[in-house]
């Protein structure tokens, strides 16, 4: 199984671990992640304004590059995933945005949303299959109580992201079961961590994160997993030393026995 892969800036800098654990785990699962030859920053947040075109172009370039290779486009960072998927949806459904973007880009072949954007978790669920993942697990994390923090970006808006039920998602809990651990469901798992507001209003973001972490700990979690570098940052600020926050890929690598190699 081969996919085009869009890592994004943060996975090259502060979040290298999210990426390296994912690549090693994919290898172990027989999945080939073929990074795009060229890619640019997605901008971190989807440009909501109907009249913004330039800020969507880096996503369109990445989407078109995957289309030209005839591959599905794999993402890992929850923010990049949200941006790419939503821009792709615009290219499929908003004629004005699609036409204007194509007029800017002048691609040899216009892009109209042909590419399928898949998050790494969706790849595990829908392409590999959690049953097959379970068979490949070498070190099941038996007894470990893990809370899945979804946050906003993977789930919303659900009509576009089509990732899981936005109010009662299960994909991460199914993932946790597949690697042998025990999922812990907590009430704040799909509430915002404070996001980019941490840059300007630290106290506000920190209080959000502390609330989330308390909620996870009270539900009995020994660890929390996330797919987003900014969530990881905010949650780590809100958690005490008894509640480690991991990228989901680290626990995946641990279960597949490749954590040491990737670290």
If the CB atoms of residues 1 and 41 are measured against another protein, the closer one turns out to be: 41
**H/E segment holding residue 118:** strand 117-119
Note whether 158 binds another protein by CB under 8 A: yes
Q: How far is the CB of 29 from another protein (least distance, A)?
A: 26
Tell me how far apart the alpha carbons of residues 17 and 142 are, in angstroms, rounded to a whole number: 23
Q: Is the CB of 10 or the CB of 25 nearer to another protein?
A: 10
Considering only residues 66 to 105 of the shown chain, the ones binding another protein according to CB under 8 A are: 77, 79
The residue from 135, 167, 241, 260 that contacts another protein (CB under 8 A) is 167
In the three-class reduction of DSSP (H, G, I as helix; E, B as strand; rest coil), residue 108 is classed as coil
Q: Which of residues 108-127 bind another protein (CB under 8 A)?
A: none
Name which of residues 41 to 70 contact another protein (CB under 8 A). Answer: 41, 43-45, 47-51, 55
What tokens were used for 52?
Answer: 């913004």
State which of positions 126-155 bind another protein (CB under 8 A): 152, 155
Pick between residue 133 and residue 245 the one whose CB is nearest to another protein: 245
Q: Which residue has the tokens 């600020």?
A: 237
- Cα–Cα distance measured from residue 98 to residue 244, given in angstroms and rounded to the nearest whole number: 43
Instruction: Give the interface segment with another protein, choosing from 2-10, 111-119, 125-133, 134-142 (CB under 8 A).
Output: 2-10
φ, ψ at 163 (rounded to 5°): -90, -45
- Could you tell me which of 155, 117, 163, 169 has the C-alpha nearest to residue 8? 117
| Binding flag, residue 206, another protein (CB under 8 A) | no
Q: Angle, nearest 10°, between helix axes 229-238 and 78-93?
A: 140
Among 89, 119, 125, 208, binds another protein (CB under 8 A): 208
Which 3 state secondary structure label does DSSP give 4? strand
Helix segments in 137-247, DSSP class H: 158-161, 171-178, 202-218, 229-238
Residue number, 120 or 233, with CB nearest to another protein: 233
The nearer residue to another protein, 77 or 84, going by C-beta atoms, is: 77
Closest distance between another protein and the C-beta of residue 2, in Å?
A: 27
Residue found under tokens 């490749």:
258
Q: Is 238 in the site for another protein (CB under 8 A)?
A: no
Report residue 17 CA to chain centroid gap: 13
With 0-12 / 13-18 / 19 or more C-beta atoms within 10 angstroms meaning exposed / middle / buried, residue 12 is exposed
> How many chain residues are in contact with another protein, going by CB under 8 A?
42
Contacts with another protein by CB under 8 A lie at 8-10, 13-15, 41, 43-45, 47-51, 55, 77, 79, 152, 155-158, 166-167, 191-192, 194-201, 204, 208, 229-230, 232-233, 236
């Amino acid at each position: 199984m081969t996919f085009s892969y869009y890592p994004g800036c943060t996975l090259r800098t502060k979040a290298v671990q999210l990426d390296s654990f994912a690549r090693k785990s994919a290898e172990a699962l027989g999945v080939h992640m073929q990074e795009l030859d060229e890619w640019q920053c997605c901008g971190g947040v989807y440009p909501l304004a109907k009249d913004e075109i330039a800020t969507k172009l880096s996503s369109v370039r990445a989407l078109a590059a995957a289309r030209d290779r005839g591959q599905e486009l794999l993402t890992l960072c929850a923010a990049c995933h949200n941006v790419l998927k939503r821009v792709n949806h615009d290219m499929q459904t908003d004629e004005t945005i699609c036409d204007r973007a194509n007029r800017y880009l002048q691609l040899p072949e216009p892009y109209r949303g042909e590419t399928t954007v898949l998050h790494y978790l969706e790849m595990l669920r829908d392409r590999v299959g959690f049953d097959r993942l379970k068979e490949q697990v070498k070190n099941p994390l038996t007894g470990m109580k893990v809370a899945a923090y979804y946050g906003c970006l993977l789930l919303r808006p659900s009509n576009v992201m089509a990732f899981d039920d936005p109010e009662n998602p299960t994909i991460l809990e199914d993932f946790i079961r597949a690697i042998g651990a025990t999922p812990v469901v907590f009430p704040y798992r799909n509430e915002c961590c404070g996001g980019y507001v941490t840059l300007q209003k630290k106290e506000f973001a920190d209080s959000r994160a502390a609330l989330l972490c308390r909620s996870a700990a009270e539900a009995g979690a020994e660890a929390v997993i996330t797919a987003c570098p900014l969530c990881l940052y905010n949650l780590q600020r809100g958690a005490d030393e008894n509640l480690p926050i991991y990228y989901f890929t680290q626990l995946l690598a641990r279960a597949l026995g490749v954590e040491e190699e990737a670290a």
